Amino acid sequence: MQLQLIEDGRSTADAVRRGLNRYGHDVAWTPTGQAALAAPEPDMVLLDLGLPDIDGLGVCRELRGRSDVPLIVISGRGSETEKVVGLALGADDSL
């Protein structure tokens, strides 16, 4: 499975990639929203909300507007409001 990890922190991205690679997933890391929106469509998206160029909710809205790819928000920001907004914008789940 080809996963796109949209996460600005290199150490977090490396840890997530290592863990998912162990289970046989191919993980493409994109550290910015612009790079993520320009990337080829993966089988699934893991999206952090705190990105340096575009808010993760904006990336969620844009991706959902053009694709039905499964999209999971993974963020330490985790406020109830952001989770609800992410799900309302089309995220399939939020962790």
Per-residue pLDDT tens digits of the chain, which is 95 residues long: 999 999 999 999 999 999 999 999 999 999 999 999 999 999 999 999 989 999 999 999 999 999 999 999 988 766 788 888 889 999 999 98
Crossing angle of helices 80-88 and 56-66, rounded to 10° = 20
pTM (2 d.p.) = 0.92
Q: According to the model, what pLDDT value does residue 75 have? A: 80
- Position 82 scores a pLDDT of 81
The CATH number, out of the four listed (3.40.1160.10, 3.40.50.2300, 3.90.1150.140, 2.40.10.10), of the domain defined by the range 2-94: 3.40.50.2300
45, 71 Cβ separation under 8 angstroms: yes
Q: Given this model, what pLDDT does residue 79 score?
A: 76
| Cβ contact 32:13 at 8 Å | no
- Tell me which DSSP letter residue 94 carries: E
